[in-house]
Amino acid sequence: MEVLQLLISGISQGCVYGLIALGFVLIYKATEMVNFAQGDIMMLGAYVAITFISLWEVPYYWAVPATILVMATVGVILERVLLRPMIGEPHFAVLMLTIGLGFVLRALAGAIWGNEPRALPMPYVGDVLRLGEVVIGYENLAIILGTALLCLLMWLFFSFTRIGIAMQAASQNQLAAFYVGIPVKRMFSLVWALSAAIAALAGILTAPVSLVDPLIGFVGIKAFAAAIVGGFGSMPGAIIGGLLVGVVEQFAGLYLPPGFSDMSAYVLLLVMLVIRPQGLFATMQKKKV
């Protein structure tokens, strides 16, 4: 029973890693840039939700879509203002830019909302679901269900909609995409919107479990490891990699001496790089954005 309980909390933590990893992968696949501010965008999303709910007293279920919308807009603005002028610049410059962006966002969040941890009030916190001897908190359940729903939506979006297919096309071959009539630059803005929206969702879902402070974005580094484990460039790989990191972390926390839990994501990353450098889903990256 203990194992099952650990597995579930591992999965719920892993979903958060997976969502952030998904943001990494989306942007990388489309624009070949790695956005190291992905975790900080999640942090910003959590703060925007807190602002809506605590400060402006917007009902929770309205605040969630509002936050996602606001963050998607932030994503578009970041792409238009910061990233688009960087097209054609060396990858290293873009990398430094996103790392710098992370610093700016953290400082900005500290200045606006303060450095003390804040809680995100939510309607279902504290309730639990009992399945036999396994107890699942509603906040963990929300993470798992929210992630599952998002995966389903993303799959539908990328397989069936014209925009989804256009996004895949633009990420595979920009020239070819132009001449089948796809506005490639608009697709890049959309990719940033999508990945910021996903990060916002991750922030909203994780906020009730871990309090929100300007530094929670550092979880993005673990998510980065998860994305590589999954085979950087594969969307299902990002989620599976996230789940793997989450579960391994939980078990390391119980069975290994203290300290190993925080390290386990990177140990997993190193092991993966040694035995299968292309990551879990390298062959499947063919098909997905």
The contact set with other proteins (CB under 8 A) reads 156-157, 160-163, 165-166, 169, 172-173, 175-184, 286-287
Instruction: Report d(CA 80, CA 94) in Å as an integer.
Output: 14
Q: Which helix (H) or strand (E) holds 88?
A: none
Identify the H or E element spanning 280: none
Q: How far is the CB of 252 from other proteins (least distance, A)?
A: 36
d(CA 239, CA 223): 10
Quote the least distance from Cβ 90 to other proteins, whole Å.
21
Closest CB 233 distance from other proteins, rounded Å = 11
Q: Which is nearer to other proteins, 60 or 178 (CB)?
A: 178
Q: How far is the CB of 39 from other proteins (least distance, A)?
A: 29
178 or 218: whose CB is closer to other proteins?
178
Max distance between CA atoms of the chain, in angstroms, equals 59
Which is closer to other proteins, CB of 115 or CB of 173?
173
What sign does the dihedral 106-230-193-122 (CA atoms) show?
negative
Residue 170 C-beta: closest distance to other proteins, Å: 10
CB nearer to other proteins: give 73 or 172.
Answer: 172
Provide, rounded to whole angstroms, the least separation between the CB of residue 80 and other proteins: 15
Q: Which is nearer to other proteins, 176 or 271 (CB)?
A: 176
* Tokens read off for 223: 């998510």
C-alpha separations of 24 from 181, 208, 225, 226, 239 in Å: 27, 23, 11, 10, 11
Minimum CB separation from other proteins for residue 148, in Å? 17
Instruction: Compare residues 170 and 229 and give the one whose CB is closer to other proteins.
Output: 170
Residue 65, number of CB atoms within 10 A of its CB? 10
DSSP one-letter code for 128: E
88 versus 258: smaller Cβ distance to other proteins: 88
Residues in the chain: 289
Q: Are 98 and 199 in contact (CB under 8 A)?
A: no
Our CB check for other proteins shows the closer of 177 and 198 to be 177
CB of 165 to other proteins, least distance (A): 7
> Which is nearest to 220 in space by CA: 101, 67, 44, 42?
42
Question: By C-alpha distance, which of 18, 70, 66 is closest to 219?
Answer: 18
- Spatial neighbors of 226 by CB under 8 A, at least 6 apart, are 14, 17, 18, 20, 21, 238, 241, 242, 244, 245, 265
At 131, is the secondary structure helix, strand, or coil?
strand
